[in-house]
Amino acid sequence: MRNFISERVLAVPPSGIRRFFDISATMSNVISLGIGEPDFVTPDTILRAGIESLEHGDTHYTSNSGTIELREAIATYVERHHGISYAPDTEILITVGVSEGLYLILTAILNPGDEVIIPQPCFVSYAAEVAFIGGVPVVIPTRFENEFQVTGAEVEAAITPRTKAILIGYPNNPTGAIMTRERLAEIAAVAEKHDLLVISDEIYDRLVYGIKHTHFANLPGMRPRTVVLGGFSKSHAMTGWRLGYALGPAELIAGMRKVHQYTIMSAPTVAQNAVAATLNLPETEEAVEQMRAEYDRRRRLVVDGFNELGLVCFEPRGAFYAFPRVTASGMDEEAFAEQLLQEEQVAVIPGAAFGASGAGFVRVCYATAYEKLEVALERMQRFMQRHG
């Protein structure tokens, strides 16, 4: 029998994140610093609103765009936090997480062979989604020495006549890097000069430390050529609720909605109702800020701990990841992660899973209890005493 799997799918390797997750799941006493998921429960205001929605029997489809109540709530939320206004009826689309939003915008804009510039290391789905759709991912490596920020000059050097868009994700998964407003302005200038679309994944916009997040569409001239992807999985501890949104010009949102109509229909109704009723409540905002403050406390613990162990780590100022260099162990990132898991039952992800420029690093997610992080650092100290 012939192989029915398409060449596009065969060409994309399996996720390096899932491999280590699957191994650690078979072991006992593992401290997992691998999966990028909050250890907090969704804020109580949202939980109670979700239960109430179920009790009222709200279990049917919504509008393809999402409920108007949620789109209005998001418009208020985004204007309050980022100072930019979007029309709820035409410029906001509710998606099944940011992952669906990424699929929708790429499907809506790409013709076969169109190129998308992607700085790496980055979220594992970026290049894969471009390839699945028939586009060509053009990867730009970023560097530790530059705190994994991409420059306008690096982006411009990668542009060809087939370039259609620039895809960025800051605060960054896996590095925890942020982009300064000045660096983002460089990207904006290049996009305008070459008439490119910018897709900005800002799922971690509320998880920044010691700096104000820059909403890319807020940069001069960028609103008409930017689609911002956001959601609640990380900041509101709602990974399982599968709720995200896209913000952008009406014609781009309409194109995304068309793909969404034929593939998904609508995002989960209970999740939409729960967030619409509670997103802008002071109690919800207080819960989000409490989680952010705790992540900041954990961030300082792990970054200081890694540097003391000789696992050199720049200061990540966004998301909930650290990206230490592991070459002091005498191993590459793959061997380091495997041996650390087998010898000390601590799970991390090899940096190269997020692109070739992640070689020599591992991703550590500190969205786990402070006490567990302390134990993990003790185990890693023993490991480095043997191998460092």
59-112 per-position pLDDT tens digit = 999 999 999 999 999 999 999 999 999 999 999 999 999 999 999 999 999 999
Residue 138, CA distances (Å) to 105, 211, 237, 247, 385 in order: 17, 29, 32, 24, 40
Query: Domain end: 213, 247, 280, which one?
Result: 280
Confidence of residue 15 (pLDDT cuts 50, 70, 90): confident
Element (DSSP H or E) covering residue 102: helix 97-109
Answer yes or no: do 274 and 295 share one domain. no
182, two tokens: 């000045």
10 Å CB burial of residue 182 (0-12, 13-18, 19+) is exposed
CA angle 147, 149, 151 (to 5 degrees): 135
Q: Residue 294 belongs to what domain range? A: 7-42+284-383
10 Å CB burial of residue 230 (0-12, 13-18, 19+) is buried
Q: Within 10 Å of residue 61's Cβ, how many Cβ atoms?
A: 8
User: Residues 282-335: pLDDT tens digits?
Assistant: 999 999 999 999 999 999 999 999 999 999 999 999 999 999 999 999 999 999
| 108 within some domain | yes
* C-alpha R_g of the chain: 21
User: Residues 141-200: pLDDT tens digits?
Assistant: 999 999 999 999 999 999 999 999 999 999 999 999 999 999 999 999 999 999 999 999
| 53 within some domain | no
Please give the Cα distance from 283 to 278 (Å, whole number).
8
Answer yes or no: do 254 and 300 share one domain. no
Segment 16-45 mean pLDDT: 83
Poorest-pLDDT segment among 1-5, 32-36, 321-325? 1-5
- Given a cut of 70, whether residue 21 has pLDDT beyond it is no
Query: Domain end: 212, 246, 280, which one?
Result: 280
Query: Domain end: 245, 280, 315, which one?
Result: 280
- Given a cut of 80, whether residue 371 has pLDDT beyond it is yes
Answer yes or no: do 175 and 301 share one domain. no
- Given a cut of 80, whether residue 256 has pLDDT beyond it is yes
How much of the chain, in percent, has pLDDT values that exceed 70? Answer: 97
Answer yes or no: do 71 and 184 share one domain. yes
User: Residues 47-61: pLDDT tens digits?
Assistant: 999 999 999 999 999
In terms of phi and psi (left: phi > 0; alpha: psi -120 to 50; beta: otherwise), the region of 312 is: beta
- Give pLDDT, residue 14: 79
- Give pLDDT, residue 20: 64
Answer yes or no: do 288 and 263 share one domain. no
